[in-house]
Amino acid sequence: RKEVEQDPGPFNVPEGATVAFNCTYSNSASQSFFWYRQDCRKEPKLLMSVYSSGNEDGRFTAQLNRASQYISLLIRDSKLSDSATYLCVVRDNYGQNFVFGPGTRLSVLP
């Protein structure tokens, strides 16, 4: 079983749609959780950290369920510019190793 698993995708959605990505992790000792965004042929960049209480940044909402070892990302009112691959990332309890999920590709269509 992979340490971090994500929806296989791709997701093709129309502009304005709401889309949700799911991620599960296997290491119950994991301490920190993130969503990264990677545009085609570019490096990954931090989209948002994920906190236990859930957090929101504009149209993006991240949730964490430690009991189920599950992380989600919700994007509301999708824009064309949201088209990218979204990577779920988990940091271990020593804070030095980041484990990446395989990513879920999103295409927002006009």
Partner 1 sequence: DVKVTQSSRYLVKRTGEKVFLECVQDMDHENMFWYRQDPGLGLRLIYFSYDVKMKEKGDIPEGYSVSREKKERFSLILESASTNQTSMYLCASSFPPTGELFFGEGSRLTVL
Q: Which is nearer to partner 1, 46 or 80 (CB)?
A: 46
Q: Does 102 bind partner 1 (CB under 8 A)?
A: yes
Decide if residue 44 touches partner 1 (CB under 8 A): yes
Q: For residues 85, 91, 92 and 95, what is the CA-based torsion angle, rounded to 10 degrees?
A: 150
Q: Among 37, 9, 3, 41, which residue's Cα sits nearest to residue 22?
A: 9
CA 58/CA 6 separation, integer angstroms: 23
Establish if 42 lies at the interface with partner 1 (CB under 8 A): yes
* Cβ 61 to partner 1 shortest distance, Å: 19
- Parallel/antiparallel/unpaired status of strands 55-57 and 70-75: unpaired
For partner 1, which is the closer residue by CB, 13 or 99?
A: 99
Q: Does 93 bind partner 1 (CB under 8 A)?
A: no
CB of 33 to partner 1, least distance (A): 9
